[in-house]
Structure 1
């Protein structure tokens, strides 16, 4: 096999996606036609290349039918040149198409294929960029069975309606069937609207495996459905896949009847035949304009242009303090003047107040709620740490019980300290071999709730707080968690920390595991009479006093009692386009107005600055626009780049000997993977396992978070991060463990960045091999010992031990054990402020004291970095397992632990006084309750 054949087979062999087929297909097509047009080839080589060209055309023909550029007509013309063996002309056309696709110049230059023009450059000029930004381009999907002539006539009619006053330019893609419409919706990133016309068949004539997989799960009975019903059904299907698209229905019969019965939430407008084609054009432009509009960004931009006089605050406003300075002019040179022209603390002049929005900011919040599927959204300019505290403070009263993952972000722990809640810490499953935790199994959450029920304190359980997805990429089955918890306690509230998951709502695979999407789905399900019937049949089989049965059974909530109360916090700046600390709170709470609004607004006032950064707010507004108009495309690219990175390391002969990206089977134990899938990538089926697992498994792995096992090179994660990646090669990462480092692809990641990372890993691997080869026998033994320590001798991760009796919750059921799992972190936290109540004890003294039977109780949060989760919280008993883990850690940074002094713990006398005070308070509370009862 020659080099050219090998290259072709590699790039068109095991494809990850249809987008990769399209990209590599055009590369290969241009390359092969160039060979045919410019080289003198023998008959064998020529026949071989012609065969490859035909294979590539066979792959591209159905794919190109779902895009407006180059379009079916232009692609057919190219194929005719190739068929007539006019390879020189074919090469020029193919090259122009490929360059236009690569540089996206077809979006703003509609003459890119003119033969008398220069080929478009892949480097945009300023004027080209301004043209593209001034009049963005999109495509509209038309679902209708029509001839090539009718399609071309329709395209000319659309183009004739274009006006220089239009804010956007669009072209059309026509597909003939129900299946083609679904495929186009998933394949074509450029789509912003879909027009479904009356009368089209169900089946597609395209049969490519990568296209057909998009149709998995579609009910084939649709083919027997009357044509009149297919349009509305197709609209509902598309809205589930890409809810951001504007949908229009055009029908020739019974338009009034259809309008009366079709869900108004699906279609923006319903038109009768051809009578309103001008209005349809305007509706399409207006619909995209609604999503493109960024009211607060526009207001801030307009404000920056106004002449103003500032007599209240901010010398930096309007850049005056810089322009009048002889010493800090370089600040303006670095940032540009617009940053300072838009700086203000005023809420007038067309602007708005974050604490009481009534104008453009209020609209921006409403648009953000629409984009993320929430009932209401709030912006924050000081990070998700503050968002978490706002939500917790607004929902939790002193004495309420909160179930929380012990490994959640520290802002939750401190927020619960502020509220005075009783905290029940939940244990995630451990991954000892990688020194990291996974997520909290649903069985553990159910068991904890049922224990509170047996203790008579379930009425005090208010909130479940979980991280989705975890830092390492473990994602919950959000729907199942909320369903089963609501079955036990119907009024339970959920806070999902989606700090690293803000991008998930942009993509149909990810969206199904987000808080807001599942809140809306549950609310609809509980209103469905069919669900009520299913619940009645199921509940007849359940013994609510049989704990074992409840733990083994997938529980269903009572729809008459269950309330959907869901909150999510997003670090928008972490995974979407926003300035640092730009975050959002999303709410889907049926009882918000009745039970939470006033408390939420007070908490929002408590933690939100009265001097909000307007630049951050503007980027949140623009970031929302990007989510609605191109989020799907960007997240799909992010996903594919992560897959590419994993495959390159998996298949590289040098890299695979030293590094390994953890697979789903490494991060999620088998009992939580009902699909049985061990790896999302399969040599035969590519990445189709990903979708199957995300539909079924209790926990799944986000492939865009790639955890690299590095223990085999004898280097710990912190050293690898700082000494190798950052100091030598300028590669920034955040999360490490003893033997892993985490690489995260995001919507800004490029193929060049992936290539650079692979290049760096190869250099590191070569340096490791050279270093090992140069070792003496003694040095080699030291190295092997280090590798063994990092790969085989990981310290076991400790579970949460328990709160000390002085801080632990108490049962209201005399037949239940005295104490429940919850504890009062606030009481312990503030008791630690009193020096006379605390002392220090080092590691060795602590081990001896525990062995002698003394209970040691931590006075502080103890948090090693990495891993970043609290090993100890205030009021927690220090166990021998915790000591063993701490002694085995080889990290430099441990918050709450001073190596020269050890642990800060409570004195025995302080614990006895706290325990006595707790007993007196309990007796007083019981006495009051008895007196109130008469």
Structure 2
């Protein structure tokens, strides 16, 4: 790997001094070793290089001037970077003791030759380069460097087969030879086995377990959906009771189907914006669970009277993360195994802001005693860390109360794992873990948090400026977040936009959902139970309020999202009046600046009442303005009362009739039929029906649709009517098919 050496001291590169002349010779000698040299005499420049130069392989630092700041910055960015303290003829005296822990030695510029010093630095940089490579990625690189013939699968044999046709050659040239040479068979012994967890692969999983705080980690290369199915398949047996977060991913339902479990759902809060909130702590207590089970149809014939497993989504799609230690304590009183589906929260362990908010925080120290449950955490590593798509991890921390036999867990793993995994995916998991190791994790996550907060504050300040400008309408987009925060150090309350960046990026108290706070709109919350993750930013459009629901006037988010897409900006999730954007490790100031600019331009187009054809060509009806379309769509959303209906659907859950497993048996034996909405009342659904947003299942397999005038049917009628009126804004609904006229059809168990 090509690397950079930073020279940071008081000497200017063009200075006329013996020390500067020797440094120039030293820089030339280091370049002859293949190292790129960055020489700066200003502390601010040195700090900028440390922040931005990921390929820094070593540093020569002076102590006078800003040396202390520079060395401190290195410790917060890099793990064991080779640092040499440079001086003219003798080492600095009276250095703080911590400096000796950072530096690798001294460089006395006027005592040794430039060639000798350069060789010493190059050797240290080479050792550092080898040290930072994680186990599997290092083994894969070494294997690829041997240039051996392939006599095993895959049949493209390192890409050679692609070279035998024009289309194959195009594929080869597009992806490059290195990717194809590292696409290897599971039979390559030097890399170990992803099924038996041996060799470099096993070492990489053990390294990831150390980094993520797990007792054991499994690399899952079929996505977090597969990781969820593995846990559910292993943790619960047929006809046992499972406590399931209603705000669950459909892969949890797949696990229930495979295992034959009997789900009892835990109901999360919802607010007026249509966002899914947390399950209140009161509903997780042993007493609340007993009451929930007492009159549930699945309890009487369950294999055991007590739940065997509980699963909670953490963090939610919208960025709400629990105090997992408290949740494990509460649910552990009812279930011996607790599963946190952390598909969107793989980075939780690596920043102090999320202390106690991630699954592997539940350990012997945080929750001592015999009641601690065995904890599973499943993570889509690729979603918000740096890994290839479908690359996920399963972390486990067992407890004596529910002993875990890893050989038996691996038998379940084998039922879902591929015998032909893509090794670059495994390498990306290995690298993603290594990137979070040591100070790098807090540094990288801290950057994402800070940029998200800067965007949040910029949006609020801009909205304030627009309100003060009497020359234009005073509306603008908002951000779902506290209006003000309290500095825990002083007790002083501050407007969010004026709060110190360090305060907002380091103090979780600024983001916790205080009971009764109007900004979040959720009821029945305990203090500290839930926190909003700052990197998941929900932009609010005029038209809905977190406490009051849909308002008289508004601008639908789907129209804003269509405009943003024309500007090359694709958001993660779209609600009726909300847009979710994610501030991942790859975010930049320029990136979020373009988003703000696009939002301002949308406002200008709306205020000017520009023709829709000019703002969004080939979108919506012709001969109408952008403002008129927004008005039509918002009025339809308001008059249909969709928010209240959806709230009823998720508050009073449908009646369970069959288990998901029983529905699946009906499905594969052709004992289901597709039913139009007008005939759906009081039928048993064979499918999971999910509307995004909020992404919570409104109907699970085996549940009754209820009466024709009930909340579920009323909501589906209203939703179908909206989609038929505005087909270009049709709802993202899973589990319901549409015919040519836009009517819904849903699979039901035959009567």
TM-score (structure 1 length as normaliser): 0.59
8 Å CA contact retained: 1:137, 1:169: no
Q: Write out aligned runs for 1:23-38 (5 A).
A: none
Q: Which runs of 5 or more structure 1 residues have no equivalent in the other structure?
A: 1-67, 76-90, 115-132, 142-146, 171-284, 527-558, 667-674, 808-823, 850-854, 911-934
Query: Structure 1: how far apart are the matches of 2:92 and 2:120?
Result: 30
Q: Which runs of 5 or more structure 2 residues have no equivalent in the other structure?
A: 1-5, 13-39, 64-76, 86-90, 109-116, 468-473, 485-489, 513-526, 544-552, 614-622, 723-729
Query: Structure 1: how far apart are the matches of 2:448 and 2:124?
Result: 27
Q: Is residue 319 of structure 2 the alignment partner of residue 473 of structure 1?
A: yes
8 Å CA contact retained: 1:664, 1:679: no
Corresponding residue of 2:450: 640
Greater Cα offset, 305-314 or 568-577:
305-314
Deviations 1:878-913 (A, max 9, x none): 241112222333434322223446444657x83xxx
Quote the offset at 1:74 in angstroms: 8.9
Query: Structure 1: how far apart are the matches of 2:655 and 2:373?
Result: 34
Equivalent position to 1:569, from 362, 365, 378: 378
Equivalent position to 2:270, from 400, 415, 430: 430
Equivalent position to 2:330, from 473, 478, 484: 484
C-alpha RMSD over aligned residues = 4.2
SS for the counterpart of 1:475 is strand
Quote the offset at 1:149 in angstroms: 3.0
Count of matched residue positions in the alignment of Structure 1 and Structure 2: 617
Counterparts in 2 of 1:382 and 1:604: CA distance versus 1, 3 Å: same
Deviations 1:793-832 (A, max 9, x none): 542222264565643xxxxxxxxxxxxxxxx221133224
Counterparts in 2 of 1:329 and 1:895: CA distance versus 1, 3 Å: same
8 Å CA contact retained: 1:472, 1:705: yes
SS for the counterpart of 2:265 is strand
Q: Is residue 1 of structure 2 the alignment partner of residue 150 of structure 1?
A: no
From the CA coordinates, give the structure whose radius of gyration is larger. 1
8 Å CA contact retained: 1:137, 1:168: no
Q: Is residue 635 of structure 2 the alignment partner of residue 691 of structure 1?
A: no
Equivalent position to 2:538, from 702, 707, 715: 707
Q: Write out aligned runs for 1:806-845 (5 A).
A: 806-807=657-658, 824-833=659-668, 835=670, 838=673, 840-843=675-678, 845=679
Quote the offset at 1:605 in angstroms: 0.4
Query: Structure 2: how far apart are the matches of 1:596 and 1:677?
Result: 52
SS for the counterpart of 1:863 is strand
Q: Is residue 654 of structure 2 the alignment partner of residue 864 of structure 1?
A: no
TM-score (structure 2 length as normaliser): 0.73
8 Å CA contact retained: 2:458, 2:497: no
Quote the offset at 1:750 in angstroms: 1.3
Quote the offset at 1:774 in angstroms: 10
Q: Is residue 253 of structure 2 the alignment partner of residue 398 of structure 1?
A: no
Q: Write out aligned runs for 1:11-410 (5 A).
A: 93=42, 97=46, 100=49, 104=53, 107=56, 137=81, 149-151=93-95, 158-160=105-107, 164=119, 292-410=132-250
8 Å CA contact retained: 2:654, 2:705: no
Greater Cα offset, 363-372 or 747-756:
747-756
SS for the counterpart of 1:317 is coil
SS for the counterpart of 1:651 is helix
8 Å CA contact retained: 1:714, 1:790: no
Counterparts in 2 of 1:692 and 1:563: CA distance versus 1, 3 Å: closer
Q: Write out aligned runs for 1:627-776 (5 A).
A: 627-629=436-438, 630-652=440-462, 653-654=465-466, 657-664=475-482, 681=496, 683=498, 688=503, 690-693=507-510, 697-712=528-543, 715-721=555-561, 723-726=562-565, 728-771=566-609
Counterparts in 2 of 1:442 and 1:665: CA distance versus 1, 3 Å: farther
Query: Structure 1: how far apart are the matches of 2:219 and 2:502?
Result: 36
Quote the offset at 1:134 in angstroms: 14
Counterparts in 2 of 1:595 and 1:150: CA distance versus 1, 3 Å: closer
SS for the counterpart of 1:461 is coil
SS for the counterpart of 1:137 is coil
Query: Structure 2: how far apart are the matches of 1:574 and 1:369?
Result: 19
Equivalent position to 1:508, from 343, 352, 360: 352
Greater Cα offset, 94-103 or 350-359:
94-103
8 Å CA contact retained: 2:284, 2:330: no
Counterparts in 2 of 1:502 and 1:113: CA distance versus 1, 3 Å: same
SS for the counterpart of 1:425 is strand
Corresponding residue of 2:19: none
Corresponding residue of 2:72: none
Counterparts in 2 of 1:94 and 1:378: CA distance versus 1, 3 Å: closer
Query: Structure 2: how far apart are the matches of 1:590 and 1:306?
Result: 44
SS for the counterpart of 2:147 is coil
Quote the offset at 1:732 in angstroms: 2.3
Query: Structure 2: how far apart are the matches of 1:628 and 1:772?
Result: 52
Query: Structure 2: how far apart are the matches of 1:299 and 1:399?
Result: 45
Deviations 1:423-453 (A, max 9, x none): 011111012x222211211212225422267
SS for the counterpart of 1:628 is coil
